[in-house]
Chain A
Amino acid sequence: MREPILELKNVSAAYGRIKAIKDISLVVYPGEVVSIIGANGAGKSTTLMSISGVLPLTGGEIYYDGARIDGIAADLLPARGLCQVPEGRRIFPRLTVEENLDMGAFFRKDKAGIAHDMNRVFQLFPILLERRRQHGGTLSGGEQQMLAMGRALMSRPRLLLLDEPSLGLAPLIVQQIFRIIREINEADGVTVVLVEQNANLALQASTRGYVLETGNVVMEDEAGALLANPDIRKAYLGE
């Protein structure tokens, strides 16, 4: 069996006294696209924030690349190849598109490599090249999502955590975003953890999936199997 790139062992996290996730265990292998689906408030974003080190754990362990990372400061993880595109994009509204992308490479010193990756981002999202002198806050929602993804790619991640990339976007843009997710997974070899409300789309783009319910993992399977599961279809695919 291959070594997992990410492994959560019985992870719990809480906001004050509110326990948001309880005993979550999941594994992600290199090269996979793994989706986490679940209703509002199931704890999907909390899981990602715990992995990124923004939210301290109340229990459990997280391993990335064979090393334990829970308790490590959040700002050290991008340099190790773990980057998150947070829910609601959270680009820097008063920095230009170019400066936003530069912020993604904040910890990097290799000028040539940064320029190369910036070109790659512009190749993936040509609209960003057109808008590169514009302030991030003046972009449309779809463009902001692209910028947020581009910014994360600037850190040259090996594991990318995406929190609801389709949030509030028109179907056509959503398709484009998912096409690019597949491309960075296949062409650039980036492992992806995908959190989505849009379970149908997410599972179609994934190799495996986890279903979260009120802070617990209630099901895990191959994406195809989850898509075929009648319970899942009823609960998350609106049938």
Chain B
Amino acid sequence: MTIPASRKLWLGYAVAMLWLFALLWPLLGIKPEGLEFADSFALWSTLALASAILLAFWQLKQHGVFDFVSRPAEAVSTVFSKATGRVPSWIWLVLVLAGALVFPLLTERYAQDVAISVLVYICLGLGLNVVVGMAGLLDLGYIAFYGVGAYTYALLSVHFGLSFWLSLPIAGAFSACAGCIIGYPTLRMRGDYLAIVTLGFGEIVRIVLNNWMSLTNGPNGILGIKPPGAYWWSDGKIEHIWLGSLEQFYYVILALAVCTVVAVYRLNHSRIGRAFEAVREDQTAAELMGVNTLGIKLLAYSLGAIFGGLAGAFFAARMRFVSPESFTFIESAMVLAMVVLGGMGSIPGVILGALALIALPEVFRGFELYRMFVFGGVMAVMMIFRPKGLWPAKRMGTRSEERD
């Protein structure tokens, strides 16, 4: 790197650090007792020093100072990636699945709890992925279907004593109906308008749950929801047991997540999935090819809603309690962030996105006060360096001449 280029780099760095301070100080330095500089300055200088050192290292690397390390490392990594590339993908799948199966045996409650959340969000993310990633419909009220599923099971369990497994398809069906009811008037809109209207409907569902006292018990929520049941061999006879422990919940949601992955994968490779993509790419062209675009969008919307509803039913069983507070807009935003961060339309991407967005904040608990700050920073950095997501969908073409 030449000297002027280097100067430009450091100038940019200085500006960035000033900007960071301008951002940091109001957060930390303005207190009821008065203004304070020492704390924020200490934190800022640590950050600045650390990043300056990193930047200097990077510059040295650009100059080739570390070639003696990176050359052999590169050789090793190409050999490694060649070796891993030769392993068929089903082996990776089996490994991941085996890891997921033994996970509760190796960890304690806290990790299992986080894992359950991750799996719930994987189901939600994959469902929303059908709507946003495949069909290209920006839905900001997706969590409404999660809520419909959760309340369906909650009410069926509390009032009719219906079992979880019977309620599961009913919750899916109710969510699909809700998807049709919301989708029919809204899906005629395109782009930004659709986003705003779905946002509105998401809030409407939450407000209805909050105010329909006679049915939903309003903000107090519904208590006493039963966990899933199962028949199990014990003491020489078959007995009915409740799957109430954390590990059992983990396996239930793992099964649900695996089913969701398989279903979304099959959908992705089906004719219908292709029609979703065609409508996303060019609605008029799809119509000219004989695709009923409103019908296809409605289908995508209600299929997505089904996955949300199933996850919702599980959520109700897991918490044994539901209240409208769990279905706020921030949850919709979170699920959407997973899809975008992971890579729209990509199943492994959405899984990674859910892992990153649920597990990372837990990892950052050490930062306490700055947890969300660090989290936001990491998100911003990831979107700058991987704008198409952590694991982008394969459907990204390069022009032929670029490839050759």
Binding site for B on A (CB under 8 A): 52, 54, 73-79, 83-84, 86, 90-95, 99, 102-104, 106-107, 131, 134-140, 151-152, 155
- Other A-B pairs beyond A75-B291, A106-B275, A140-B400, 7, CB < 8 Å: A74-B288, A75-B292, A92-B285, A93-B281, A93-B397, A95-B277, A106-B291
A228 to B332, CA, bound (A): 66
B399 contacts A138, C-beta separation under 8 Å? yes
Partner of A94, one of B281, B284, B288, B289: B281
Which residues of chain A are within 8 angstroms of B288 by Cβ–Cβ distance? 52, 54, 74, 78, 83-84, 86, 90
* Nearest CB of chain B from residue A33's CB, rounded to whole Å: 20
Which residues of chain A are within 8 angstroms of B310 by Cβ–Cβ distance? none
* Nearest CB of chain B from residue A106's CB, rounded to whole Å: 5
A76 contacts B290, C-beta separation under 8 Å? yes
Tell me if B245 counts as interface (CB < 8 A to partner A).
no
Which parts of B265-284 form the interface with A (CB within 8 Å)? 271, 274-275, 277-278, 281-282, 284
A77 to B288, CA, bound (A): 8
Which 8 A-B pairs have CB atoms at the shortest separation, nearest pair first?
A135-B397, A78-B290, A90-B285, A107-B290, A92-B281, A94-B395, A138-B397, A75-B292
Q: Which of B286, B287, B292 has the most CB of A within 10 A?
A: B287
A106 contacts B290, C-beta separation under 8 Å? yes
A138 contacts B403, C-beta separation under 8 Å? yes
Tell me if B398 counts as interface (CB < 8 A to partner A).
yes
Q: Which of B275, B288, B290, B399 has the most CB of A within 10 A?
A: B288
A54 to B287, CA, bound (A): 8
Q: Which of A52, A86, A90 has the most CB of B within 10 A?
A: A90
A76 to B293, CA, bound (A): 11
Which residues of chain B are within 8 angstroms of A91 by Cβ–Cβ distance? 282, 285
Which residues of chain A are within 8 angstroms of B291 by Cβ–Cβ distance? 75, 103, 106
A97 to B277, CA, bound (A): 14
Tell me if B96 counts as interface (CB < 8 A to partner A).
no
A103 contacts B274, C-beta separation under 8 Å? yes
* Nearest CB of chain B from residue A130's CB, rounded to whole Å: 11
Query: Known interface pairs A95-B278, A99-B274, A155-B290. Does A90 touch B397 (Cβ–Cβ under 8 Å)?
Result: no
Number of interface residues of B (CB under 8 A): 24
A78 contacts B289, C-beta separation under 8 Å? yes
A103 contacts B395, C-beta separation under 8 Å? no
Which residues of chain A are within 8 angstroms of B105 by Cβ–Cβ distance? none
A102 contacts B397, C-beta separation under 8 Å? no
Query: Known interface pairs A90-B282, A138-B399, A140-B400. Does A106 touch B271 (Cβ–Cβ under 8 Å)?
Result: yes
Total A-B pairs, Cβ < 8 A: 84
B290 contacts A94, C-beta separation under 8 Å? no
A137 contacts B397, C-beta separation under 8 Å? yes
Q: Which of B277, B289, B400 has the most CB of A within 10 A?
A: B289
Query: Known interface pairs A91-B285, A93-B397, A137-B397. Does A103 touch B278 (Cβ–Cβ under 8 Å)?
Result: yes
Tell me if B22 counts as interface (CB < 8 A to partner A).
no
Which residues of chain A are within 8 angstroms of B292 by Cβ–Cβ distance? 73, 75
A19 to B397, CA, bound (A): 39
A78 to B278, CA, bound (A): 16
A67 to B289, CA, bound (A): 20
Which residues of chain A are within 8 angstroms of B290 by Cβ–Cβ distance? 75-79, 106-107, 155
Which residues of chain B are within 8 angstroms of A99 by Cβ–Cβ distance? 274
Q: Can you list 8 A-B contacts (CB < 8 A)? A: A52-B288, A75-B287, A83-B288, A92-B277, A93-B397, A95-B395, A106-B271, A106-B275
A103 contacts B286, C-beta separation under 8 Å? yes
A228 to B242, CA, bound (A): 89
A95 contacts B281, C-beta separation under 8 Å? yes
* Nearest CB of chain A from residue B57's CB, rounded to whole Å: 38
A140 to B402, CA, bound (A): 12
Q: Which residue of A lies closest to B281 (CB)?
A: A92
Which residues of chain B are within 8 angstroms of A103 by Cβ–Cβ distance? 274-275, 278, 286, 289, 291
Q: Which residue of A lies closest to B393 (CB)?
A: A94
Which residues of chain B are within 8 angstroms of A78 by Cβ–Cβ distance? 288-290
B397 contacts A86, C-beta separation under 8 Å? no
Which residues of chain B are within 8 angstroms of A83 by Cβ–Cβ distance? 288-289
* Nearest CB of chain A from residue B282's CB, rounded to whole Å: 5
Which residues of chain A are within 8 angstroms of B285 by Cβ–Cβ distance? 86, 90-92
A135 to B275, CA, bound (A): 16
Q: Which residue of B lies closest to A138 (CB)?
A: B397
Which residues of chain A are within 8 angstroms of B278 by Cβ–Cβ distance? 92, 95, 103, 106
A173 to B277, CA, bound (A): 29
A54 to B275, CA, bound (A): 18
Tell me if B369 counts as interface (CB < 8 A to partner A).
no
Tell me if B396 counts as interface (CB < 8 A to partner A).
yes
A151 to B293, CA, bound (A): 18
A151 contacts B396, C-beta separation under 8 Å? no
A86 contacts B284, C-beta separation under 8 Å? yes
A233 to B106, CA, bound (A): 84
Which residues of chain B are within 8 angstroms of A139 by Cβ–Cβ distance? 400
Q: Which residue of B lies closest to A131 (CB)?
A: B400
